[in-house]
Structure 1
Amino acid sequence: MSYTLIYEPNAAAKTSVSEFKTLLEKSKDDVKIDTMKKILITIINGDPLPDLLMHIIRFVMPSKNKELKKLLYFYWEVCPKLDESGKMRHEMILVCNAIQRDLQHPNEYIRGSTLRYLTKLKEPDLLETLVPNVRQCLEHRHAYVRKNAVLALYSIHKVSDHLVPDADELIYRYLYDENDSVCKRNAFVCLGDLNRDAALQYVQDNISIIETLDPLLQLAFIEFVRKDSASNPSMKSQYAQLITEIIESPSNVVVYEAANTLTVLTSNPQSILLAASKFVDLATKEADNNVKIITLQMISNLNKAHPGVLQELSLEILRILSSQDLDVRKKAIEVTLKFVTTRNVEDVVKLLKKELEKTMSSNEDKTSEYRQLLINAIHQLAIQFVEVAANVIDLLLDSISDLNNTAAYDVITFVKEVVEKFPDLRQSIISRLVSALPAVKSGKVFRGALWIIGEYSLEDSSVQEAWKYIRSSIGEVPIIASERRALEGGNASEEYTNGSSEKASKKGPVVLPDGTYATENALTVEADSHEDSKPPLRKHILGGDFYLAAVLSSTLVKLILRLQRLQTNEKILNALKAEALLIMVSILRVGESSYVAKKIDEDSADRILSYIKFLNEEDDSAVIESSFLDDTKEAFKAQIESAEAKKAELEAKTLHQNAEQIDDAVSFRQFDKDGGSKSTAVDDIALDSDSGVKKEDLSSRLNKILQLTGFSDPIYAEAFVKVHQYDVVLDVLLVNQTTNTLRNLSVEFATLGDLKVVDKPATANVGPHGFYKIQTTIKVTSADTGVIFGNLVYDGQHSDDSTIVILNDVHVDIMDYIKPATCSESQFRKMWNEFEWENKITIKSPIDSLKQYLDELMKGTNMNCLTPGAVIGEECQFLSANLYSRSTFGEDALANLCIEKQTNGPIIGHVRIRSKGQGLALSLGDRVANISRKAKSHSVSVI
């Protein structure tokens, strides 16, 4: 079923029949063209204008203007052809004669367009006299005429089969005589609907040459097979063999449709594998990125329906990584990870390794994001398959110096998880990590690495190896004394090599190629060489990274306590403890000196002081040892278990949604009353999708109706606001509350914010106490607070007099465009650092509990809490959590909540919101402020 939508600019200004007649009598074709357009609009909008038929026959039909002739055929399609008694109007005889002349016209395009019109004509009385001319057109020399003649013959037979009783035989013979591909395709489609057996016979006759047929005819065969297999399931196996032949076509469109149909016709693993391999070929060959993503999604769907069949395609799918588009690469990796098993995991990891090595020397855009994708994929494989974990760790730690800070931190996070999950690999991983640390440049990566060393150096040799590296990377202590000597002119290399007596060779003057001496700034050269010669940890400490210094101190305490638990020699233990105390005291002293880029913060200073105190405690050593060596590790283990439980819960939920319930009704298409008829044959592919459409609850519309004018205004107006993807649709009801006709009534809308009015409502005349409905669409481009305002205008008693009624404002709720979302911790931190707009809202709320406030905040802002176990019971009076949401337009919104519950007092704290654009941050800030102002609900007792 097709529809024609016509926009009428002004419904109130209507032309009378007499005016139309006068305009048609004018000789100029331009005037007639405009008049015919107005006539067509009027007829389509419900006024048939029967009195105009003879005028159009007299003054328009003789014209040779091509555009006017085209409009004339539109008119024949919609004009009233029957009189009041239901009989054919006599004027239509003249029309029929004109159509006959056009069917015999020497111009092939006029013949073809006339034949196209006949496909829309449904009156047998008119068609009866035209059938001989249509049959003659089947033999016309031009293909444009023949292809439309076939369709016209088919539609005439559908209107009344006695007009062309031998239509199927005629088309069947025509198929063998025709050479044009489009004509043959049209003929076969018509034959398939008219005579299934004849169409099947034609397919059988062409099986031997089916691979060489034109792609259009091959597509027609596939469509016929798909429909016929629904009504004749017994033919599916034979049809599957036929599609297997067609699937080797050189046309990519045919290959896609054939592969898609083959997956419906059969569940044979070989056929499914063949279809999937064709999808992979399409994704590799096609240049369009959308095609690549669609075919990859088809492969993913096939894997869901036929698990375990497509495993051997994993390496083939990874060939798609040669594409430059990041979304395609992401989709290819996502699909491949579903196919990986113990048999092919090593090959997949090798290929991903090669891709990772390529990114090290690549300068393409988004290389860092692609590298992160590869690291995450390798991470998942290593966690899932222990046999490749060790090799993967070596590869990633070898390349850590070439990665950016984000990717390097992802590697450290990955190492954390592997060390916890695979105890047998701990010692080798710790040793490998220590040897890779000299190449690390980021303080964040150092912090993660030091935490791993402190928690999982469980053997004496591992502790000693880690201690040796830490000691060498700090340099000479006390730090202040050595820095002072270096600035006073001492030999830096001697100091930083921890007592080495080797002197640095003096640099002589540099002679340029032209024989002159190069000039250098002595202070700059000395400062640069001094900075480069510093060990890595010392450089970070002097740069002001005292958070790293606190983590370093914690690691030293853990290593000392570990040696105590391992019952190391008392003499060695005391020496290491003294060295650890010296390092921590040295860090505290240099943090207060002028040698650092910024002074030490109170939090880091307090932490380091507490670590010094712990090392000197003798009474509570058991409690301290348990806290440092056991509790933190158990907390990390619980975090990993929680993440795995969430993942398993999500998989179980997905499985439950896709599973068929045991008590669901079984539908047998053969027992359906219309199941066997050809007219109701349904495509199996269409049946795979959920066709159930939820009916709208009409009572819920009442909650979204907004009053635009007052009850005492001459016009009462109200609007129903409906949000549809990127649009806001306003259904406005206007009620004339006066006893006069309101002429040229129009509604004018304007917007503030990222909104744009797409169409202007039509003008109309509304009678006394009459109703009038209009609809307007407003395009939304971002999740920002928007306001729609406007007014009503209608003419008064005099032509130059108009009345204006101001409408109430309509505020667009941004919550309709913001949905809860999830992201990893590293992605959250990366976006937090990148986004420049921040909105900080101070909170003072009377809500009873922290958990209740968090729930209200998530509900009111449509944000998802990313912090696991943000609220554990009510014994804690503090809450800190990260929240995340994403708008329909791809905008990210981040929030950090820090609140505390005062004793017998309100909840106080603040929420910091960050986003890339200002509007989203401000809009969400307003929502947070509204939530904080909510008062406690009071119970009302009946007296």
Structure 2
Amino acid sequence: MTVDAQQAAYTLVFDPLKDAGSWTVPEFQKALEKGSDEEKVAAMKQILVVMLEGNPLPELLMHIIRFVMPSKNKKLKKLLYFYWEIVPKLDNDGKLRHEMILVCNAIQHDLQHPNEYIRGNTLRFLTKLKESELLEQMVPSVLACLDYRHAYVRKYAILAVLSIYEVSDHLISDAKELINTFLIAETDPICKRNAFVGLAKLDREAALNYLEENITSVETLDPLLQAVFVQFIRKDATAEPSLKPQYIDLLVDILSSASSSEVIFETALALTALSSDPSILANAASKLIDLAVKVFDNNVKLIVLDRIQDINEKTPGSLEDLTLEILRVLNAEDMDVRSKALDISMELVTSRNVDNVVKLLKKELQNTVSHSEKEKSMEYRQLLIKTIHSIAIKFVEVAANVVSLLLSFIPDLSSAAASGVISFIKEVIEKYPHLRRDILERLLNVMDSIKSAKAYRGALWILGEYAEDAQEIQKCWKHIRASVGEVPILQTELKKMARNSDDDHDDNDDEKAEKKASKRSGPVILPDGTYGSESAFDSVEKSTDEEIDSRPPMRRFILNGDFYTASILASTIIKLVLRFEKDRKGDTILNAIKAESMLILVSIIRVGQSTLVEKKIDEDSLERIVCAISILMDETDPSEKSTERALVEMAFLDATKSSFKVQVALGKKKSARASAQNLNKIAEPIEKPIQFRQFAQAGSNIDGQDPIEEDLRLAIEGDAAKSSGNSVISKLKKIVPLTGFSDPVYAEAYVTTHQFDVVLDVLLVNQTKETLKNLHVQFATLGDLKIIENPTRTNVVPHGFHRLTVTVKVSSADTGVIFGNIIYDGAHGEDAHYVILNDIHVDIMDYIKPAKTDDENFRTMWNAFEWENKISVKSQLPSLHAYLRELVKGTNMGILTAAEALGEEDCRFLSCNLYAKSSFGEDALANLCIEKDNSGQVVGHVRIRSKGQGLALSLGDRVALIAKQSSKVKLARI
């Protein structure tokens, strides 16, 4: 049921009329016999499409020979040669069909045609012909074309000679001498290139001699010939390791003198495959960097950067001097290219070049601020900040300068970028204690210009955790006091509004009266239907956005209704007061700070309960602020127990900082683990055997296969040969029966899943004693699936077999169903017969792969995605970790939460985040919250979020399936 991997690949023909319906054989015959040239072209295209799907259409061969072959229309002749490629040329006994004699005569005439393009097209067809009986008659005409005046004919003639010799060497026994003579006499670069390719395949010694003769003038040769020289050198060096040093020297000379991008790329790849010398690899990487900067295609840039990364992985540290050169690629506008260049550069940063790298990144960051109107500049700015962050964490000598640099940019950054800077400062201030005082001072200087509430909350947390002595605490308090502004907030704002209204009273008194009248046109009705009352404080007009934006940051956040930031301020105040009290107990300054703190917090509650703000204070923030006020008041109680005092200090002064220390330590351990894994990739085991070329047998290749050829083979054939999925047993598991054994037509399908499509290889068996006429299979789909084209009609003899292939395009990782039926004509005027097919369910797990992302990106996507599927969990599995393992196995999702945070195997509560990405770029997020109840069951919820509804529902079905499978009753024995 599988397609042979060694089967010849034919030229593909685009079908512009795929929605026009299927043609029958009589319709094809009529169009070829009586149609115009345009109609014949359309019919030939449709015939080619049908034959490529597996239907040979033997009834049309004579019609094509009679009515298409004599035509002089060039489009029709081109399609005719496509037809000769795929038409079965042998009969059932394996002998050449008699009709092919007529075809041979027509091909011979075309090989002698006065038009050079018809000759060249015919010669190109011969390179795809594998029947020696047909080729035998073409040899004289092909040899005559080697001396043709036009290079277009000669370049295909030499390839035809090579192809004929490979099919059957006795047809052109002197092919090696012919190609060698042709190569010496030829002047056209394309013809010389093709001839050298043929000579390298047939006669290595002759190709080596030709290479030696042209070594001195290799710089002046055409780039096409240079590129084929490089390919020959790479393959021959792999086969003959003793010549590798000479070949490497020659490749270095070619690389230094080459001007063609193709030659530079091929030569650099060859040096990467053959040499491990750091200086040679650095030279190759330098040329690749110049190539990445010079080319305009972003895909080419990414490919070249991948090769540079391969060189760095092969010899770590050899490209250290090229770090700044790689950063030249940042001139590209594409974000993928920039991200790739920064990732490679970060692997090369050391203490010797870190200063220069930071200066360059600083310049790039300044450019993004000055060109903020450009698209993607904000995303690029965040990428630069993330990169600078990673550098500063590694190298303490630049941490202070980097902090100063990023803090200076905070006023111009977006909310996400500013909060990223604050997160970075948290990590630096924890990791490098000697920089804390300086960082706190610089942070206090820029906090007034922070516009993002999220970033300001992070800055407040830093003040509360790392302001330790009395002097630092007083500086922090001065900032907080200035940031809140004049208190009480509510009365101050009302006075300011009244003052502004008095100033404008003379100008627009009538207008304001009208506004007030229109605003207070009736009583206030509450949601429950009762009448409500308003105080004088509630009846004032609200401030405009411009007036609020001009206020200090904390006051601005409060008036905008952001009381979560106010609750963080309350916690920060408690931390500062507790630390200040430890240092200077009973001080008048301490009492003043406490009194002013309570005034600020009470003022925040008052303004949060008024209508002066857009959104009233929420219960959680209110509770936290009230708790802070009670702690401040409790400090004056002399009867307070020391244990209560210790609990408060532990909760506010020790718990959060210790949690952050654990988080930083986990991050450090994670990066160390990643670097160790990278080191293991290139590390060689101690017991690896030493191979001596001098003791190896002649002709043996101890260096193994050519890595570039191996990559090419994997790209063509895939990795199926190495996986267990290629075994016969696993293939049998993928065969789906579509009908029953008692149906007149038995059908089964072998389902092959590729990245963006599903291929159904369907086998039909006629189980009756009659010929089934006009039999065809119709498929339809549910979900984001699309049938590319339904198979054509055919006749199936009694107990005969028919095979067809159906391709289904998949556009998203959604649950899909393929269904259909088989239709064939009844006998003696009976109605058509139908056989209903079983459904084929497409498994979405083939398209979902586990992925990794950081917590910030996860939270951003979680808030942005609108589709959520919440599934209740109730399972009999023995532990919470066992359910997590089953969930990961069933949904193909990756665990984002650190293993240290998941708890022990016998824990009673478990919460973690999971993330997966589909082949179509769709993101799937999941949050698992489960616990063990008193009966020992695993209960809780799984919340799945995605951008589209289909993916969320499909993954929800998989989660529900896990519960069903775990609750099945298993029989120990019968």
Q: Is the Cα contact below 8 Å between 2:542 and 2:613 reproduced in 1?
A: no
Judged with a 3 Å threshold, the aligned counterparts in structure 2 of structure 1 residues 555 and 73 are, in CA distance, closer, same or farther, namely closer
Per-residue deviation at 1:701?
A: 4.8
Partner residue, 1:434: 444
Q: Which moved more, 1:715-724 or 1:429-438?
A: 715-724
Partner residue, 2:334: 325
Q: Which moved more, 1:820-829 or 1:68-77?
A: 68-77
SS in structure 2 at match of 1:458: coil
Per-residue deviation at 1:508?
A: 13
Per-residue deviation at 1:341?
A: 0.8
Q: After the TM superposition, which residues 834-913 of structure 1 pair with which residues of structure 2 at under 5 Å, given as runs?
A: 834-841=864-871, 850-868=880-898, 869=900, 871-873=902-904, 879-899=910-930, 901-904=932-935, 910-913=941-944
Judged with a 3 Å threshold, the aligned counterparts in structure 2 of structure 1 residues 5 and 389 are, in CA distance, closer, same or farther, namely same
Structure 2: distance between partners of 1:373 and 1:571: 48
Q: Is the Cα contact below 8 Å between 1:866 and 1:884 reproduced in 2?
A: yes
Partner residue, 1:640: 664
Judged with a 3 Å threshold, the aligned counterparts in structure 2 of structure 1 residues 338 and 169 are, in CA distance, closer, same or farther, namely same
Partner residue, 2:723: 694
Structure 2: distance between partners of 1:859 and 1:158: 50
Unaligned 5+ segments in structure 2 are 1-5, 508-514, 517-539
Judged with a 3 Å threshold, the aligned counterparts in structure 2 of structure 1 residues 318 and 732 are, in CA distance, closer, same or farther, namely same
Q: Is the Cα contact below 8 Å between 1:12 and 1:764 reproduced in 2?
A: no
Structure 1: distance between partners of 2:47 and 2:612: 86
Judged with a 3 Å threshold, the aligned counterparts in structure 2 of structure 1 residues 751 and 246 are, in CA distance, closer, same or farther, namely same
Per-residue deviation at 1:117?
A: 5.3
Structure 2: distance between partners of 1:28 and 1:528: 74
Per-residue deviation at 1:698?
A: 3.6
Equivalent in 308, 312, 323 of residue 321 of structure 2? 312
Deviations 1:856-906 (A, max 9, x none): 444433333333355434897655433322211111122334455544486
SS in structure 2 at match of 1:343: coil
Paired residue total: 915
Q: Is the Cα contact below 8 Å between 2:776 and 2:794 reproduced in 1?
A: yes
Deviations 1:162-196 (A, max 9, x none): 76665545544443433211122122222333443
Judged with a 3 Å threshold, the aligned counterparts in structure 2 of structure 1 residues 790 and 828 are, in CA distance, closer, same or farther, namely same
Q: Is the Cα contact below 8 Å between 1:847 and 1:934 reproduced in 2?
A: no
Partner residue, 2:676: 652
Structure 1: distance between partners of 2:546 and 2:88: 95
- Residue 746, structure 1, aligned to residue 776, structure 2: yes
Equivalent in 616, 624, 628 of residue 652 of structure 2? 628
Equivalent in 381, 395, 403 of residue 405 of structure 2? 395
Q: Is the Cα contact below 8 Å between 1:43 and 1:79 reproduced in 2?
A: no
Deviations 1:735-782 (A, max 9, x none): 555554433332211112211011323434445566554432211101
Per-residue deviation at 1:483?
A: 3.6
Partner residue, 2:478: 468
Q: Is the Cα contact below 8 Å between 1:542 and 1:595 reproduced in 2?
A: yes
Partner residue, 2:557: 540
Q: Which moved more, 1:589-598 or 1:741-750?
A: 589-598
Q: Taking structure 2 as the reference length, what is the TM-score of the superposition? A: 0.82
Deviations 1:87-126 (A, max 9, x none): 9999999988876665554433344445445556678888
Structure 2: distance between partners of 1:334 and 1:13: 58
Per-residue deviation at 1:366?
A: 1.6
Equivalent in 609, 615, 619 of residue 602 of structure 1? 619
Deviations 1:117-152 (A, max 9, x none): 555667888877866655554333221232233334
- Residue 828, structure 1, aligned to residue 834, structure 2: no
SS in structure 1 at match of 2:773: strand
Q: Is the Cα contact below 8 Å between 2:752 and 2:759 reproduced in 1?
A: yes
- Residue 802, structure 1, aligned to residue 802, structure 2: no
Judged with a 3 Å threshold, the aligned counterparts in structure 2 of structure 1 residues 580 and 759 are, in CA distance, closer, same or farther, namely same
Partner residue, 1:517: none
Amino-acid identity (%):
54
Structure 2: distance between partners of 1:901 and 1:92: 77
Structure 2: distance between partners of 1:163 and 1:775: 37
Equivalent in 916, 933, 937 of residue 947 of structure 2? 916
Structure 2: distance between partners of 1:936 and 1:93: 70
Q: Is the Cα contact below 8 Å between 2:784 and 2:812 reproduced in 1?
A: yes
Q: Is the Cα contact below 8 Å between 1:320 and 1:332 reproduced in 2?
A: yes
Q: Is the Cα contact below 8 Å between 1:460 and 1:566 reproduced in 2?
A: yes
Partner residue, 1:446: 456
Structure 2: distance between partners of 1:127 and 1:861: 55
Q: Is the Cα contact below 8 Å between 1:259 and 1:278 reproduced in 2?
A: yes
1:356 maps to amino acid: L
Q: After the TM superposition, which residues 92-241 of structure 1 pair with which residues of structure 2 at under 5 Å, given as runs?
A: 103-116=111-124, 119=127, 134-155=142-163, 158=166, 167-241=175-249
Structure 2: distance between partners of 1:590 and 1:81: 91
Judged with a 3 Å threshold, the aligned counterparts in structure 2 of structure 1 residues 816 and 105 are, in CA distance, closer, same or farther, namely closer
- Residue 555, structure 1, aligned to residue 578, structure 2: no
Q: Which moved more, 1:290-299 or 1:156-165?
A: 156-165
- Residue 581, structure 1, aligned to residue 598, structure 2: yes
Structure 2: distance between partners of 1:89 and 1:936: 64
Per-residue deviation at 1:463?
A: 1.3
Judged with a 3 Å threshold, the aligned counterparts in structure 2 of structure 1 residues 52 and 795 are, in CA distance, closer, same or farther, namely closer
SS in structure 1 at match of 2:352: coil
Per-residue deviation at 1:833?
A: 2.6
Partner residue, 1:612: 629
Equivalent in 467, 479, 500 of residue 457 of structure 1? 467
Partner residue, 2:291: 282
Partner residue, 1:685: 708
SS in structure 2 at match of 1:399: helix
Structure 2: distance between partners of 1:550 and 1:605: 8
2:563 maps to amino acid: F
SS in structure 2 at match of 1:207: coil
Q: After the TM superposition, which residues 734-813 of structure 1 pair with which residues of structure 2 at under 5 Å, given as runs?
A: 734-736=764-766, 738=768, 740-766=770-796, 772-799=802-829, 801-813=831-843
Q: Taking structure 1 as the reference length, what is the TM-score of the superposition? A: 0.85
Q: Which moved more, 1:564-573 or 1:873-882?
A: 873-882
Deviations 1:897-932 (A, max 9, x none): 445554448666544433222222333344445556
Judged with a 3 Å threshold, the aligned counterparts in structure 2 of structure 1 residues 479 and 491 are, in CA distance, closer, same or farther, namely farther
Per-residue deviation at 1:404?
A: 0.5
Equivalent in 375, 393, 399 of residue 365 of structure 1? 375
Per-residue deviation at 1:587?
A: 2.7
Structure 2: distance between partners of 1:530 and 1:58: 89
Per-residue deviation at 1:285?
A: 0.8
Partner residue, 1:513: none
Structure 2: distance between partners of 1:904 and 1:184: 82
Q: Is the Cα contact below 8 Å between 1:119 and 1:155 reproduced in 2?
A: yes
Deviations 1:62-111 (A, max 9, x none): 77665676677778888999999999999999988876665554433344
Deviations 1:759-810 (A, max 9, x none): 3234344455665544322111012232222122122123451122333333
Structure 2: distance between partners of 1:622 and 1:878: 28
SS in structure 1 at match of 2:316: coil
Q: Is the Cα contact below 8 Å between 2:430 and 2:661 reproduced in 1?
A: yes
SS in structure 2 at match of 1:792: strand
CA RMSD of superposed structures (Å):
4.6
SS in structure 2 at match of 1:699: helix
Judged with a 3 Å threshold, the aligned counterparts in structure 2 of structure 1 residues 450 and 24 are, in CA distance, closer, same or farther, namely closer
Q: Is the Cα contact below 8 Å between 1:745 and 1:793 reproduced in 2?
A: yes
Unaligned 5+ segments in structure 1 are 493-505, 511-520
1:780 maps to amino acid: V
Judged with a 3 Å threshold, the aligned counterparts in structure 2 of structure 1 residues 480 and 699 are, in CA distance, closer, same or farther, namely same
Q: Which moved more, 1:232-241 or 1:465-474?
A: 232-241
Per-residue deviation at 1:835?
A: 2.3
Per-residue deviation at 1:816?
A: 2.6
SS in structure 1 at match of 2:823: strand
Partner residue, 1:723: 753
Q: After the TM superposition, which residues 73-92 of structure 1 pair with which residues of structure 2 at under 5 Å, given as runs?
A: none
1:422 maps to amino acid: Y
SS in structure 1 at match of 2:561: coil
SS in structure 1 at match of 2:445: helix
